[in-house]
Amino acid sequence: MNQLRFAVIGGDQRQSYLYKLLGEQGFPVTACGVPGIEYEDEEMKAVVAGSDVVILPLPVTQDGRTVNAPFAKTPIYLSDVFNSSVTDQLFLGGKVNKKLQASLRDRSITLLDYFQREELSILNAIPTAEGAIAIAMDETNRTIYGSRILVTGFGRLSKLLAPRFAALGADLHIAARKQADLAFIEAYGYTPHHFNTLKNIAGGFDILINTVPAMVFPAEVISKLREDAVLIDLASAPGGVDFEAAWKKGVTAVQALSLPGKVAPYSAAQIILSTIFNIIKEEKT
């Protein structure tokens, strides 16, 4: 693996740290459109063509035409990147568009999605959980200790978030749909609630945190919240909160997207790089 040449294209501070981490580990690495790393537009094709592995950002694209590269001097077009590919090259990116992936497969170009990997999803939940706690502390005038907190959903993120809030002394409640999840929630020492009861119980909490990528907090539930409540949506866009209803109600509502890249980009880069190394080992053996 040490003989592999890497290219890092676009992205945010996570990509910048990926570039640095690869260099520190002795890999030949080039970059374009990465924060803090200068490049010339005409170099992009050479950067791609001169690498064995091309690391694209998370997400790869926002508009379907250009690489997600907000710090690039000029747009980096997906077509230019993939037209510069060479034989046996591996492209890796986050939240890969399935249609794009299929079209590249027809051209014998391999584009894999590191965001779909279970190990990344689990470890990425750690900076997300810490970021959510920081937001809760910033947005409320209460201590976490003694606050009544409701977390909706019992997936990877909720399972990592719950013990951290509980360790700070929160009165923690978790809403789920499956009876097995409700049983686990109770077994862990938290208070379980079925989603069907949200409208009835929502007004009893100081902080509410959604982890479900579906409309969990529509207007009818928002209407039951206290005006001094804090509502944090951690779910992927479009999320699970009617923000217009929350603002009309006067509730503090925060859509907290891409927290790992914002609150802990170095750690997020380490997680992505570890996942990428796992993928390479599987693909190259």
CATH at residue 83? 3.40.50.720
Match 């009165």 to its residue by tokens: 171
Rounded to whole angstroms, the Cα distance separating 41 from 55 reads: 18
**Per-residue pLDDT, 84:** 93
Whether the upstream peptide bond of residue 238 has omega within 30° of 0, thus cis, is yes
**One domain for residues 83 and 194:** no
**One domain for residues 48 and 85:** yes
Q: Which among 116, 144, 177 is the end of a domain?
A: 116
**One domain for residues 58 and 132:** no
Rounded to whole angstroms, the Cα distance separating 215 from 242 reads: 7
**One domain for residues 134 and 24:** no
Q: Has this prediction a pTM greater than 0.85?
A: yes
Residue 275 domain flag: no
Q: Which among 90, 116, 142 is the end of a domain?
A: 116
**One domain for residues 91 and 191:** no
**One domain for residues 96 and 126:** no
pLDDT tens digits for range 68-87: 999 888 899 999 999 999 99
Close Cβ partners of 75 (under 8 Å, ≥ 6 residues apart): 66, 67, 69
Number of domains composing the chain = 2
pLDDT tens digits for range 227-281: 999 999 999 888 999 999 999 999 999 999 889 999 999 999 999 999 999 999 9
Q: Which among 116, 146, 166 is the end of a domain?
A: 116
pLDDT tens digits for range 121-178: 999 999 999 999 999 999 999 999 999 999 999 999 999 999 999 999 999 999 999 9
Residue 278 domain flag: no
**What angle separates helix 13-24 from helix 265-284, to the nearest 10 degrees?**
60
**Per-residue pLDDT, 42:** 54
* Token representation of residue 199: 């409208």
Q: Residue 189: how many CB atoms within 10 A of its CB?
A: 10
**One domain for residues 46 and 126:** no
**One domain for residues 126 and 257:** yes
**One domain for residues 107 and 125:** no
Residue 267 domain flag: no
Average pLDDT on 14-36 reads 94
**One domain for residues 50 and 77:** yes
Average pLDDT on 215-222 reads 96
Task: Tell me which residue range forms the domain holding 182.
Answer: 121-261
**Per-residue pLDDT, 40:** 52
**One domain for residues 155 and 98:** no
**One domain for residues 55 and 94:** yes
**Per-residue pLDDT, 254:** 96
